[in-house]
Copies of this chain bind each other. A is one copy, B any other.
Amino acid sequence: MPTTLLKLSCPDHVGLLARLTAFIAEHGGNLDEVHQFTDLEAGWFFTRMAVETQTLRVPLADLRATFAPVAAELGAQWSIRREGDKMRVVLMVSRLGHCLSELLWRWRAGELGCDIACVIGNHEDFREVVEREGIPFHYVPVSAEGKAAAFAKIERLWEEAGADLVVLARYMQVVPEDLCARWEGRVINIHHSFLPSFVGANPYQRAWERGVKLIGATCHYVTAELDAGPILEQEVIRVEHFHSTEDLLRLGRDCERQALSRGVRWHLADRVLLHGKRTVVFRD
């Protein structure tokens, strides 16, 4: 059943949910799913409403136009879109393909409601895997001295692709700060540890040395500060003394695939709202 999604966050007021649901009802909209969360401490309100498109008496553009002054008055960040108008996604990869393969598989299985515009790699390893899915692959090597130029090219590719979302699927280059800033809230990364444990390089080796009994992975938005962006999802798995660092790498891959897939799925379904360093995630 075609669905129209309203996503909104704003300062909390008395009667806010009544006003929003009344707005939907006035336009004939039947609500299939409503999520609401009020952060009482911060005084902030978050909602996601899924409306049956066919019950709405006005076209999408009119609905947006009518809603704009309401939202302005509320001081809201918001979006209204048809679920069927899929987001365009760019995937970034280096030499480890498990997250890329997982996302491609879920995309083919229909679990991710998106179009994959292209894949960009700083190595050529996965060109064939990508192209046989009918997706363009761009090879953009990143050298120490050519980093600025490479990322200029990468940003151009993102723009040309009309990317709504960029996913770093084990892309092992640090994205420049200014690029992070310009694309804030639109770049998702998977970090191979249970953050904030083991920020930075070689987390599995360091997890082994510390002797932790659970390892994990963290799906988060990229911000200028390394591995410090808002977290969408985390996954863990139990490990024991007999697991070598290689075992942790193997077991951790499963955590990474799960956490990244879920985080991306929820973002694509407008289920994630940002507020400072925290996320509100209306899971499904």
Contacts and interface: CB of A to CB of B under 8 A. Distances in A.
Interface of A: 14-18, 21-22, 24-25, 28-41, 55, 98, 101, 105, 109, 111, 132, 194-198, 209-214, 216, 230-234, 236, 240-244, 247, 250, 253-254, 258, 277-281, 283-284
A260 B196 CA distance: 22
A37 B214 contact: no
A279 B32 contact: no
A240 B240 CA distance: 14
A231 B244 contact: no
A24 B32 contact: no
13 contacts: A15-B25, A17-B17, A18-B18, A21-B22, A98-B105, A194-B197, A209-B278, A212-B231, A213-B233, A214-B216, A240-B283, A241-B278, A241-B279
A234 B212 contact: yes
Contacts of A211: 230-231, 277-279
A41 B194 contact: no
Nearest to A49: B17
A209 B55 CA distance: 29
A253 B261 CA distance: 13
Nearest to A261: B254
Contacts of A31: 16-17, 36, 38
Contacts of A233: 213
A281 B213 CA distance: 10
A86 B38 CA distance: 25
Contact of A197 (B16, B25, B196): B196
A241 B281 contact: yes
Contacts of A242: 33, 37, 284
B55 A240 contact: no
Contact of A41 (B132, B230, B244, B283): B244
Contacts of A37: 33, 241-242
A258 B247 contact: no
A71 to B, nearest CB: 17
Contacts of A278: 209, 211, 241
A57 B214 CA distance: 40
Contact of A213 (B21, B105, B234): B234
Contacts of A280: 241
A66 to B, nearest CB: 16
Contact of A194 (B24, B132, B194): B194
Nearest to A241: B280
Contact of A247 (B33, B209, B277, B284): B284
A135 B194 CA distance: 37
